[in-house]
């Protein structure tokens, strides 16, 4: 085979360098030959690994192309190449074409079929072993490439050294390169049909070099040893809708910077666990974990869908953090972004010179690219990403960002849904819930789509929970309204309770509410400083008493007084002052009441769990309702006015004693100290169309929670 013939083969779309390079049996002449392509070498010898004295020189037959006959050998044997460079230096190397292009060609058929979710196990750059030799298997799907090479320091970034084979002409390209390690940076050199060379990071890359480097790193996905089996067994079989879910939303880089630098995955574990346990949150949701090049995107413009960002450590370091959280009974939710991806030319954008991952056009609001949800391989890419985070990283759930944008193709004013996107969401949710019914799938959704949390088999989208943005907007608007006008807007604060059965909701006060000029939550409350703090506690209390799971952004638990800035840490100095300590203590105790009160989190049958007492008293602005299970009954009283009401009657179902288990006006929370302790129902005296009543002191801007205790 001459150089011209070889170059012709390189230019073919169905390129198979493994058919020509490496050790081959020449059937015509009944002999073994070896072909090597290496422009860096002046001379190359083949050394038999089994018989050390057996060496065979190769002859250069073209520019960098060597070929030689292995003497009288009739059978293939393991070998190593000894090369002499043009500078007179010698080195030894394994021949990548001595190994199969891909370990298991059968996986490719699965990649192109529906319901395939495990592409992450073999696509990308994986550290593995072939025939006792350690190395890295590189595999990429590139449907329009003329040639795909992997380049790095290991081949002087020369795209002719390690050309991948197109396996079975499926446009899945692969090669095993011996002796590479997790420290070897790489990227793909892709020759387009117009002969342009593109340099791309690995779409299935599992580990990326530190920004601004654009290189990918191989990864050994089987090395980390988990120690959270007890936790995983505990949650197995649980139904999320009937579990307490109180999420602390966290951005690692801006949470704490003890020495001016953000914490790493490993150094974060201990202080975060201690803090989460003290505050009684059940879950932490991590923002900005998927690899992304631009800090200012907060992780919402993703270039690495299979890699935790290297900003805070390695993939195994991130596994360590999750492992430690699980060992302390803290669940982990991942912010996951399948709605769009950035136009960075080193990533998914026009991967091989054509639109591969993206549909036509840019997102109208974000100037980013939108996934082609109608293409099987793209759906499998995204399903595989979500599956990997749940399987390999033991995530307890994912929050799917921008579901409305997915449904309507980025056009939020449209009334016509993208049917491909709808089918994608149904498909991914059905698969994930089939594999992991205990995992939590949350839709960050601002649409009016009906059935977001209805099961796929019942014609819904299949999410577990949908963000209740209506509750968030109405609540903050109402609590920011002057007291004298609130009676005219009172339906805002109760409206969400009229549609609470429409979906299964998550009530969120997220990072979106404290950036871009929106002000921190404390300053969204109406009134003077005391009233603002009381209003914030009332806001949190209403969120936890209202049906739906909970999410609170970091810093809000102690009433941060500045907008969130991803470049700075939270204002931890505020926690030295009583006004902020008291709100933090209230958040802690509110969480404790929530996780210990099934009546507040058993929500599978809300029509049995919730009961009105009074929601339309425009004179007092006092709202009251009941949350209950068969074993527990709680009476919730909220005062949205600045006035105190003595001996205020509240209708209740059951006679007996009602113990006040939380009162936001307690001295310890910075209130006026108007607490009730225990109250009793007088005999034969009802109220609010209930058979019984209690009379309580209702402090200003407060929430009280009473638990029924039967009389002996």
Which spans in 65-128 are helix H?
107-111
Which DSSP symbol is given to 208? Answer: B
CB 378 within 8 A of CB 427: no
Nearest to 41 by CA among 93, 86, 91: 86
SS3 249: strand
Nearest to 386 by CA among 324, 439, 312: 439
Instruction: Give the separation between CA 507 and CA 683, rounded to whole angstroms.
Output: 38
Count CB neighbours of 695 within 10 A. 17
How many Å separate Cα 222 from the centre of its chain? Answer: 21
CB 335 within 8 A of CB 287: yes
Cis upstream peptide for 212 (omega within 30°): yes
SS3 4: helix
Instruction: Give the separation between CA 549 and CA 219, rounded to whole angstroms.
Output: 36
Nearest to 506 by CA among 403, 641, 371: 403
Q: Which residues sit opposite 233 in a β-bridge?
A: none
Look up 477 and say whether it is catalytic. no
How far lies 158's CA from each of 94, 112, 296, 378, 654, in Å? 17, 31, 34, 29, 80
Instruction: Give the separation between CA 216 and CA 680, rounded to whole angstroms.
Output: 67
In the chain, the largest separation of any two C-alpha atoms, in whole Å, equals: 109
User: Of all helices (H) and strands (E), which one includes residue 139?
Assistant: strand 133-141
CB 304 within 8 A of CB 201: yes
Instruction: Give the separation between CA 511 and CA 520, rounded to whole angstroms.
Output: 10
Q: Which residues sit opposite 124 in a β-bridge?
A: 139
CB 406 within 8 A of CB 421: yes
The one catalytic residue among 184, 418, 444, 603: 444
Instruction: Give the separation between CA 448 and CA 231, rounded to whole angstroms.
Output: 36
Residue 220 backbone dihedrals phi, psi, to 5 degrees: -95, 100
CB 186 within 8 A of CB 150: yes
Rg of the chain over Cα atoms, rounded to whole angstroms, equals: 31
SS3 293: coil
CB 658 within 8 A of CB 678: yes
Look up 401 and say whether it is catalytic. yes
Which DSSP symbol is given to 257? Answer: -
Nearest to 551 by CA among 519, 585, 521: 521
The residues assigned a catalytic role are 401, 444
């Amino acid at each position: 085979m001459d150089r011209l013939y070889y170059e012709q083969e390189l230019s073919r779309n169905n390129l198979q360098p493994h058919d020509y390079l490496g050790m081959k049996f020449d059937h015509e002449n009944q002999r073994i030959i070896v072909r090597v392509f290496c422009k860096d070498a002046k001379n190359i010898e083949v050394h038999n690994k089994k018989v050390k004295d057996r060496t065979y020189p190769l002859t250069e037959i073209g520019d960098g192309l060597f070929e030689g006959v292995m003497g009288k050998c009739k059978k293939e044997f393991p070998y190593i190449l000894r090369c002499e460079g043009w500078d007179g230096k010698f080195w030894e190397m394994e021949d990548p074409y001595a190994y199969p292009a891909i370990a298991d060609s059968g996986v490719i058929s699965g990649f192109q079929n529906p319901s395939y979710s495990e592409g992450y196990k073999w696509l990308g750059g994986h550290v593995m072993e072939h025939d006792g030799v350690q190395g890295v298997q590189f595999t990429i799907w590139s449907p329009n490439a003329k040639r795909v090479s992997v380049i790095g320091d290991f081949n002087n970034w020369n795209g002719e050294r390690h050309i991948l084979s197109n396996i079975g002409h499926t446009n899945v390209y692969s090669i095993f390169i011996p002796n590479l390690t997790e420290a070897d940076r790489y990227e793909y050199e892709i020759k387009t049909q117009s002969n342009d060379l593109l340099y791309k990071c690995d779409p299935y890359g599992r580990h990326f070099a530190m920004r601004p480097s654009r290189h990918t790193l191989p990864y050994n996905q089987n090395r980390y040893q988990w120690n959270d089996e007890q936790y995983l067994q505990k949650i197995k079989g649980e139904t999320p809708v009937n579990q307490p879910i109180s999420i602390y939303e966290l951005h690692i880089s801006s949470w704490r910077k003890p020495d001016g630098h953000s914490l790493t995955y490993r150094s974060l574990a201990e202080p975060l666990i201690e803090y989460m346990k003290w505050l009684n949150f059940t879950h932490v949701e991590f923002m900005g974990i998927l690899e992304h090049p631009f800090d200012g995107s907060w992780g919402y413009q993703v270039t690495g869908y299979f890699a935790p960002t290297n900003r805070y450590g390695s993939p195994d370091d991130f596994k360590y953090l999750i492992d430690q959280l699980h060992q302390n009974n803290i669940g982990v939710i991942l912010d996951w972004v399948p709605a769009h991806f950035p136009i960075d030319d080193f990533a998914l954008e026009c991967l091989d010179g054509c639109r591969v991952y993206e549909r036509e056009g840019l997102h109208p609001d974000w100037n980013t690219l939108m996934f082609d949800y109608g293409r099987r391989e793209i759906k499998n890419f995204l399903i595989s990403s979500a599956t990997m985070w749940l399987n390999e990283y033991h995530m307890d759930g994912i929050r799917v960002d921008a579901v409305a944008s997915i449904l309507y193709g980025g056009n939020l004013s449209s009334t016509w849904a993208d049917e491909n996107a709808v089918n994608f969401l149904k498909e991914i949710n059905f698969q994930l819930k089939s594999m992991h019914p205990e995992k939590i799938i949350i839709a960050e959704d601002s649409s009016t789509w009906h059935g977001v949390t209805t099961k796929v088999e019942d014609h819904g989208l299949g999410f577990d929970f949908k963000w209740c943005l209506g509750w968030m907007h109405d609540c903050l608007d109402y609590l920011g309204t002057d007291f004298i006008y609130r009676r005219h807007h009172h339906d805002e604060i109760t409206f969400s309770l009229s549609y609470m059965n429409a979906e299964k909701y998550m009530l969120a006060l997220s990072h979106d509410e404290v950036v871009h000029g929106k002000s921190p939550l404390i300053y969204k409350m109406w009134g003077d400083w005391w009233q603002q703090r009381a209003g914030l506690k009332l806001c949190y209390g209403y969120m936890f008493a209202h049906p739906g799971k909970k999410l609170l952004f970091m810093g809000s638990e102690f009433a941060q007084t500045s907008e969130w800035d991803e470049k700075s840490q939270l204002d931890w100095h505020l926690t030295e002052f009583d006004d902020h300590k008291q709100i933090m203590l209230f958040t802690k105790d509110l969480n404790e009441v929530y996780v210990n009160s099934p009546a507040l989190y058993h929500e599978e049958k809300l029509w049995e769990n919730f009961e009105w007492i009074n929601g339309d008293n425009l004179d007092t602005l006092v709202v009251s309702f009941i949350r209950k299970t068969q074993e527990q009954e709680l009476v919730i009283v909220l005062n949205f006015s600045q006035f105190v009401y003595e001996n205020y009657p509240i209708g209740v179902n059951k006679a007996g004693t009602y113990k006040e288990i939380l009162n936001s006006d307690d001295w310890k929370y910075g209130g006026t100290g108007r607490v009730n302790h225990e109250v009793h129902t007088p005999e034969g005296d009802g109220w609010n169309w209930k058979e019984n009543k209690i009379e309580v002191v209702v402090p200003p801007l407060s929430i009280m929670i009473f638990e029924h205790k039967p009389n002996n």
